Amino acid sequence: MASLIDISPVIDAAIHVWPGDTPFVRTINLDMNAGANLTLSDIRTTVHVGAHTDAPSHYLANGADVASRDLEFYIGACNVIHVDVARGARIYPRDVKAVLTAPRVLFRTGTFPDPRNWNDDFASLSPELVDDLHARGVILIGIDTPSVDPFESKALEAHQAFGRNDMAILEGLVLDGVEEGEYELIALPLRIQGADGSPVRAVLRSR
């Protein structure tokens, strides 16, 4: 039986979200430990918490919401690729040495090592890389950082490249200890009507 590798961070009150966005809060409304007949809670947070996907409506005017996205983006063969880039750098096609064998690519940069200790200088994607991978048949790109664009970017050039190529994004992955190679990716978003993104429980299955 193939083993599963969880590549999602634990979501709790300690996880960081994008500065200025809504942090994660879980409220316990009924508690069996306090004598209730069941435990019941609610949560409040950004849809971009932890491992998540951005819907086109996050970065394109009149873009599709997350409930409209084709689930084929988020399940199937993928390559995990290690890239050696400096903190704050964008990844360019020249930085990708591995041979692609799957239509989904996850980049391990190691530049955002702890979701509970925010750093602005994480690596990101260049629009040239997004265009290049699209031309090579890639339909989804994921990364182990909070964004496919640099922290200070307002133009969101990589996001725009995803938009014009109709590709899917995964951000906030945890790829520490995951070896390069081909896996099966399972990272389905919630079917939230109108939402600009969704958390995912991202896992890899060894092939």
* Alpha carbon 97 to chain centroid, angstroms: 22
Quick one: pLDDT at residue 132? Answer: 98
pLDDT tens for each residue of 40-63 = 999 999 999 999 999 999 999 999
- Tell me the average pLDDT across 164-186: 97
Taking 60 as the threshold, does the pLDDT of residue 194 lie above it?
yes
CATH class of 4-8+47-206: alpha beta
Taking 70 as the threshold, does the pLDDT of residue 1 lie above it?
no
- Tell me the average pLDDT across 104-113: 98
- Tell me the average pLDDT across 184-188: 98
CB 196 within 8 A of CB 55: yes
Instruction: List, in order, residues 6 or more apart from 70 with CB less than 8 Å away.
Output: none
Quick one: pLDDT at residue 207? Answer: 77
Taking 60 as the threshold, does the pLDDT of residue 187 lie above it?
yes
- Tell me the average pLDDT across 150-168: 98
Instruction: Tell me how far apart the alpha carbons of residues 76 and 78 are, in angstroms, rounded to a whole number.
Output: 6
Has 58 been annotated as catalytic?
A: yes
pLDDT tens for each residue of 57-88 = 999 999 999 999 999 999 999 999 999 999 99
- Banded model confidence at residue 6, pLDDT cuts 50, 70, 90: very high
CB 67 within 8 A of CB 193: yes
Q: Which of 16, 48, 52, 58 is catalytic?
A: 58
Share of the chain above pLDDT 90, in %: 98
Closest Cα partner for 181 from 81, 109, 84? 81
Q: How many CB atoms lie within 10 A of CB 22?
A: 13
- Banded model confidence at residue 2, pLDDT cuts 50, 70, 90: low
Q: How far apart are the first and last CA of the chain?
A: 10
Domain ranges of the chain: 4-8+47-206
Mean pLDDT of the chain: 97
